[in-house]
A and B are shown apart, each in its own frame.
Chain A
Amino acid sequence: MKIVEVKNLTVSYDNNIVLSNISFEIEAGSICAIIGPNGSGKTTLLKAILGLIEIKQGEIKILGKNIKQVLDKISYVPQRFSFDKTFPITVEEFMALSLAKDGSRKLIAEKLQELEMHKTKNQLLSELSGGQLQRVLIARSLLNNPKILFWDEPISGIDIGGERTFYQLAKHLNQDHKITIVLVSHELDVVYKFANQVVCLNKKLICQGLPEKVLTPDKISELYGPVSLYKHQHHT
């Protein structure tokens, strides 16, 4: 079953085309990595899928419907969460803002516990480190039991230990809770460690499909430039 369908998508800012005629599909239950070098349009693609930016042409369907009809079935963790650091709000209060119904401290505690962040619940959000904030954002994204998780560079700012926890959590959510995960990364490494579907972007679609089939040295070269620092690795 196709859970995300993108057809002939073009996005431009002030007549500069950022994404040109992109078409791909994401299978339900997969872990799909959208990869490409910096400035390749990965975040733009994600925001277009989520309806956060206007698209010039094309069609996007999630669970066969328009994004506005399935907002309660998706979650999103942005690449950089910029907020007013002088805003006095605790981690628990911040999480509670995203709950459909007020309250439910138990659910918040559960999700923070999953990310090993339960001790920070009464701390101010502005006092967290980058990695801690990222974990809180991930915990928040799990509050509404989503069917699809969209993560933009989810491990940026997380240390190696946290990265391992993140991979374990992602696999757990995907395998045990049957959540489809769509994540954006500029690191090819993420695909090999983690994904079973890949969408390669560089303002246009370079390739898509099973990583071990489509990520040939030629395609990697096309994606990251002729002198790629990445070695073609086997999918594990």
Chain B
Amino acid sequence: MALLLALLGILVILRKMSFWGDGIAHASLAGIAFGLLLAFNPLLLAIVVAIIFALLVYYLERKTTLASDAIIGVLFTALMALGIVILNFKAGYQPDLMSYLFGNILAIKTSELYIMIICTLFILYFLLRYKQQLTLITFDRESAYLAGINVNLFDLLFYICLAVAVVLGTKILGIILVSALLIIPPSIAKLMAKSFKLINVLSVIFAEVIVISGLIISYYFNLPSGAVIVLTGVVIFLALVVIKRLKFI
């Protein structure tokens, strides 16, 4: 999961789409709420809502003059509001909801684990198989088009993969913190990398280090795992910024 978000995150930060992660995660609350209300797999419904969100953003980017962040801002608040309204019909404490909001790796059910593995494998295949095309589109859209790449189709597939991956990540970090795993590892890698190959390698390594060390720390100090994972990543990021700055001075 960390590997998947780290690889997607590189393209996300290079495309300046950092707000996307937050948008999808918050929008997915509508799907989770539907799932809890109907007592039907909330993760699956959250994925459906996230895909609808990605399709709507893709469509509105092309059919309106609004910037992506404005479109995402409108859609995610609308879907989150819808989720809150739906949850209002479900009385009582919702432990499942808490696990989606704040993440709980121990609360992942077997059915959810299967969904996560299948989706992760599909997205990883897509990212690795079409790495060259996705990178060229990110870096130089005109050349990508002239190389015969269907730029719009790849954009759409990338949006869908991103949406699904972020929703899968909510089971670990929660809606509120999941975008951190999308942004922090590639940001750390970008601080250090001197080639595109290296940014990929470092991003994956840091993602794994952050998640594993965060889980160990949270276990020993009995702290919420999602929050500790994010804080571990931020500490590494800040430490590297300081080290780079000191070197510069």
Q: Is B14 an interface residue (CB 8 A)?
A: yes
- Describe B's contact surface by its main secondary structure: helix
Shortest distance between the CB of A106 and any CB in chain B (Å): 18
Q: Which residues of B contact A102 (CB under 8 A)?
A: 132
Q: Is A52 an interface residue (CB 8 A)?
A: yes
Q: Which residues of B contact A50 (CB under 8 A)?
A: 146
Docked pose: A94 CA to B135 CA in angstroms: 10
User: From A69, which residue of chain B is reached at the shortest CB distance?
Assistant: B148
Shortest distance between the CB of A23 and any CB in chain B (Å): 24
User: From A124, which residue of chain B is reached at the shortest CB distance?
Assistant: B194
Chain A 69-107 interface 0/1 with B at a Cβ cutoff of 8 Å (1 = within): 001101110100101101111100110111010100000
A71 and B139 form a contact (CB under 8 A): no
Q: Which residues of A contact B145 (CB under 8 A)?
A: 51-52
Docked pose: A18 CA to B49 CA in angstroms: 43
A83 and B140 form a contact (CB under 8 A): yes
B195 and A88 form a contact (CB under 8 A): yes
Docked pose: A212 CA to B125 CA in angstroms: 58
B196 and A93 form a contact (CB under 8 A): yes
- Describe A's contact surface by its main secondary structure: loop
Of B135, B142, B199, the residue contacting A76 (CB under 8 A) is B142
Q: Which residues of B contact A124 (CB under 8 A)?
A: 194-195
Docked pose: A68 CA to B148 CA in angstroms: 7
Q: Which residues of A contact B14 (CB under 8 A)?
A: 84, 87
Chain B 183-194 interface 0/1 with A at a Cβ cutoff of 8 Å (1 = within): 000000010011
A87 and B139 form a contact (CB under 8 A): yes
Chain B residues 1-25 with CB under 8 Å of chain A are 14
| Chain A residues touching B, range | 20 to 34
Shortest distance between the CB of A66 and any CB in chain B (Å): 13
Q: Is B136 an interface residue (CB 8 A)?
A: yes
Docked pose: A83 CA to B196 CA in angstroms: 14
Q: Is B147 an interface residue (CB 8 A)?
A: yes
Q: Is B98 an interface residue (CB 8 A)?
A: no
User: From A90, which residue of chain B is reached at the shortest CB distance?
Assistant: B195
B139 and A94 form a contact (CB under 8 A): yes
Docked pose: A71 CA to B144 CA in angstroms: 11
Q: Which residues of A contact B139 (CB under 8 A)?
A: 83-84, 87, 89, 94, 97
Docked pose: A98 CA to B137 CA in angstroms: 11
User: From A122, which residue of chain B is reached at the shortest CB distance?
Assistant: B195
A88 and B199 form a contact (CB under 8 A): yes
Docked pose: A124 CA to B190 CA in angstroms: 13
Q: Which residues of B contact A84 (CB under 8 A)?
A: 14, 139
Shortest distance between the CB of B126 and any CB in chain A (Å): 16
Q: Is B63 an interface residue (CB 8 A)?
A: no
Q: Which residues of B contact A83 (CB under 8 A)?
A: 139-140
Docked pose: A72 CA to B132 CA in angstroms: 17
Q: Which residues of A contact B148 (CB under 8 A)?
A: 68, 71-72
Docked pose: A90 CA to B196 CA in angstroms: 7
Q: Which residues of B contact A97 (CB under 8 A)?
A: 132, 135-136, 139-140, 143
Chain A 40-54 interface 0/1 with B at a Cβ cutoff of 8 Å (1 = within): 000000000011100
A78 and B194 form a contact (CB under 8 A): no
Q: Is B66 an interface residue (CB 8 A)?
A: no
User: From A68, which residue of chain B is reached at the shortest CB distance?
Assistant: B148
With most chain A CB atoms within 10 A of its CB, the pick from B132, B190, B193 is: B132
Shortest distance between the CB of A143 and any CB in chain B (Å): 10
Known A72-B148, A97-B132, A97-B135: A88·B143 in contact at CB below 8 Å: no
Q: Is B198 an interface residue (CB 8 A)?
A: yes
Of A71, A78, A89, the residue contacting B147 (CB under 8 A) is A71
A93 and B195 form a contact (CB under 8 A): yes
Docked pose: A103 CA to B139 CA in angstroms: 18
Can you offer 28 A-B residue contacts whose CB atoms are under 8 A?
A50-B146, A52-B146, A71-B146, A71-B147, A72-B148, A74-B146, A75-B146, A83-B139, A83-B140, A87-B14, A87-B139, A88-B190, A88-B194, A88-B195, A88-B196, A88-B199, A89-B139, A89-B195, A89-B196, A90-B194, A90-B195, A93-B195, A93-B196, A97-B132, A98-B147, A100-B147, A102-B132, A124-B195
Q: A75-B146, A90-B194 are in contact. List 13 more A-B contacts (CB 8 A).
A: A51-B145, A52-B145, A68-B148, A71-B148, A84-B139, A87-B14, A88-B193, A88-B198, A89-B195, A94-B139, A96-B132, A97-B139, A124-B195
What is A's interface to B at a CB cutoff of 8 Å?
Answer: 50-52, 68, 71-72, 74-76, 78, 81, 83-84, 86-90, 93-94, 96-98, 100, 102, 124
